[in-house]
């Protein structure tokens, strides 16, 4: 049996190269939590695609996290836009040859009582959190099935499991991401039905 000390030793030995050779796309990575994830991945040896809305911000974040310019790429990609996601994810594979990790992190928060919540804002919330997760997942899964491996991570929240009266749409969206993950993580016929 492996002891806690052995596991800790192994972790320490691998620190700084746990993601060596992996290609990761992090959405909403020009700032906030996404940027920190991107930076951590760079420190662990990955090549990271910083995907976000604004070209200058993505380019600046990519430069910041990897001044060498060799392992970080800024990608202008609105996760709610099917064409941009398809083109962006294809570009990643063309540029780096694989896609090993997707972090679907892009998200927003709108705080208001449900009875006053504007429909347009509800739709924006669902667009970014759910359409964004769906579109990026679909594109990533196609490539991951082709290369027979990969990891997809959704940015959750305490609101993935708990409710909060002023954040009902956010709570609904974060809960829904659990359902989305449960659906594709089941192996079986789904794998075979994806064109290679």
Ligand X SMILES: NC(=O)c1ccc[n+]([C@@H]2O[C@H](COP(=O)([O-])OP(=O)(O)OC[C@H]3O[C@@H](n4cnc5c(N)ncnc54)[C@H](O)[C@@H]3O)[C@@H](O)[C@H]2O)c1
Where in the sequence numbering do the catalytic residues fall?
170
How far apart (Å, rounded) are the C-alpha atoms in residues 27 and 29? Answer: 5
Q: Which of 42, 46, 75, 107 binds ligand X (CB under 6 A)?
A: 107
The span from the first CA to the last CA of the chain, in angstroms, equals 40
Instruction: Report the chain's C-alpha Rg in angstroms.
Output: 18
How many residues of this chain interact with ligand X, rule: CB under 6 A?
20
Q: Where are the beta strands (DSSP E) in the chain?
A: 23-27, 47-52, 72-76, 101-104, 151-154
Q: Which stretch binds ligand X (CB under 6 A): 89-97, 99-107, 143-151, 185-193?
A: 99-107
Q: Which is closer to ligand X, CB of 6 or CB of 56?
A: 56
Contact 145, 94 (CB under 8 A): no
- Provide, rounded to whole angstroms, the least separation between the CB of residue 27 and ligand X: 5
Residue 106 interacting with ligand X (CB under 6 A): yes
58-97: contacts with ligand X (CB under 6 A): 78-80
What three-state secondary structure class fits 109? coil
Quick one: CA dihedral 172, 178, 181, 187, positive or negative?
negative
Kindly state the smallest distance separating residue 136's Cβ from ligand X, in Å: 9
Q: Is 27 near ligand X (CB under 6 A)?
A: yes
- Quote the least distance from Cβ 165 to ligand X, whole Å: 17
Alpha helices in 17-81 (DSSP H): 32-43, 55-65
Residue in 16, 21, 32, 97 binding ligand X, rule: CB under 6 A: 32
Residues that bind ligand X (CB under 6 A): 27-28, 30-34, 52-53, 78-80, 105-108, 128, 132, 155, 157
């Amino acid at each position: 049996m492996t002891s806690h000390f052995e596991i800790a030793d192994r972790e320490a030995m691998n620190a700084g190269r746990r993601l060596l050779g992996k290609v990761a796309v992090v959405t909403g990575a020009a700032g906030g939590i996404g940027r920190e994830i991107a930076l951590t991945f760079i420190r662990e040896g990955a090549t990271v695609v910083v995907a976000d809305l604004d070209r200058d911000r993505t380019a600046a974040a990519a430069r910041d996290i990897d001044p060498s310019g060799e392992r970080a790429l800024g990608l202008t990609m609105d996760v709610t836009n099917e064409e941009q996601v398809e083109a962006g994810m294809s570009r990643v594979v063309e540029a780096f040859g694989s896609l090993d990790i997707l972090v679907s992190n892009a998200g927003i928060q709108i705080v208001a009582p449900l009875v006053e919540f504007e429909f347009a804002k509800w739709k924006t919330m669902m667009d970014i959190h759910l359409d964004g997760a769906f579109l990026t997942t679909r594109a990533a899964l196609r490539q991951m099935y082709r290369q027979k491996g990969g990891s997809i991570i959704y940015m959750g929240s305490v609101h993935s499991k708990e409710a909060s009266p002023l954040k009902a749409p956010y709570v609904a969206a974060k809960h829904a991401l659990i359902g989305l993950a449960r659906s594709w993580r089941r192996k079986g016929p789904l794998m075979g039905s994806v064109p290679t």
